Amino acid sequence: MTIPAFGLGTFRLKDDVVIASVKTALELGYRAVDTAQIYENEAAVGQAIEESGVARSELFITTKIWIENLSKEKLIPSLKESLRKLRTDYVDLTLIHWPSSNDAVPVAEFMQALLEAKKEGLTRNIGVSNFTIDLMQQAIDAVGAENIATNQIELSPYLHNRKVVDWAHEHNIHITSYMTLAYGKALKDEVIRRIAQKYNATPAQVILAWAMKLGYAVIPSSTKRENLQSNLRSQTLMLDEEDMMAITELDCNDRLVSPEGLAPLWD
């Protein structure tokens, strides 16, 4: 199974805003859409997909299980509710959104429940998000590395997360990058802007191209048609090694997402 290299994120988008974003993206050619139970937009995403007229078989839909639904009693029923909202019989990928706070639900319990959901045909693939090396090892011990399609983690020019990335790659776990544009902060970076000028590209295209060249999947979001269209072009932008190195040197371990009570002890 190959995770699509490029898709649409829907974090912080709700109601008519997310419907418009998803419908526009699908019209422009996007075929992967990323949502989550906690985004409270699965029903709107499902409506947008249905109204788009794009065949379900052409799409790659990802959702994520929220921490309140991690127990073996709740996980599968919550996923079935997500499917109902998304108006589909299955999703292509289901992730554990965050590890259980203070290990309230053991990794083995929720990973085995997630694997059962896969066996029942509710999801084609399973994976994790915001997992450290220790948590990935526990997930592997529970279900085997071959059953972990990806670890979706914060990754940007300012946070390369190399320890986690290298360990994941050693164990054949793919990486999906979120917050790739660093909440837009990286778009203003002089190094990024200089590289963009060199290629007659946008800063966003440069950053997304950088991440994809490293083998990561990206899921940028936007509410503007021109940005959705522009971001698509990052798939054909090929940066040279000098520019890749220049972006590598921007790494300063600047983590933007670390919610208190949710975040594990980062590597």
Phi, psi (degrees; rounded to nearest 5) at 14: -135, 165
Does residue 131 form part of some domain? yes
Tokens (6 digits) for 50: 């249905």
**pLDDT tens-digit series, residues 185-216:** 999 999 999 999 999 999 999 999 999 999 99
Mean pLDDT for the stretch of residues 145-154: 98
- Answer yes or no: are the C-beta atoms of 90 and 124 closer than 8 Å: yes
Report the CATH number that the domain containing residue 74 is assigned in CATH: 3.20.20.100
Rounded-to-10 torsion of CA 90, 46, 35, 21: 140
Does residue 256 form part of some domain? no
Buried b (16+ CB within 10 A) or exposed e, 166-197: ebbeebebbbbbbbbbbeeebbebebbeebbe
Catalytic residue among 39, 158, 178, 216: 39
pLDDT at 1: 66
- Measured CA to CA, the distance from residue 205 to residue 236 in angstroms comes to 9
- Answer yes or no: are the C-beta atoms of 30 and 258 closer than 8 Å: no
Tokens (6 digits) for 220: 């940028």
Our measurement of the distance from residue 20's CA atom to the centroid of its chain's CA atoms, rounded to an integer in Å, reads 20
Does residue 147 form part of some domain? yes
169 is in an annotated binding site: no
Q: Total domain count for the chain?
A: 1
Does residue 67 form part of some domain? yes
86: closest CA among 125, 137, 123? 123
| Cβ-proximal residues to 39 (8 Å cutoff; 6+ apart), any chain | 10, 11, 12, 13, 14
Residue 248 in this model has a pLDDT that exceeds 70: yes
Does residue 100 form part of some domain? yes
| Cβ-proximal residues to 33 (8 Å cutoff; 6+ apart), any chain | 7, 8, 10, 22, 25, 26, 45, 49, 59, 60, 61, 62
pLDDT at 203: 98
- Measured CA to CA, the distance from residue 38 to residue 123 in angstroms comes to 18
Q: Beta-carbon neighbour count of residue 141 at 10 Å?
A: 12
pLDDT at 60: 98
Does residue 3 form part of some domain? no
Does residue 169 form part of some domain? yes
DSSP, collapsed to helix, strand or coil, labels residue 154 as: strand
Distances (CA, A) of 217 to 151, 159, 195: 10, 16, 21
Q: Domain span at residue 195?
A: 8-248
4: closest CA among 60, 42, 49? 60
pLDDT at 23: 98
Q: State yes or no: is 39 an active-site residue.
A: yes
**pLDDT tens-digit series, residues 67-99:** 999 999 999 999 999 999 999 999 999 999 999
H or E stretch covering 174: strand 174-178
Does residue 259 form part of some domain? no
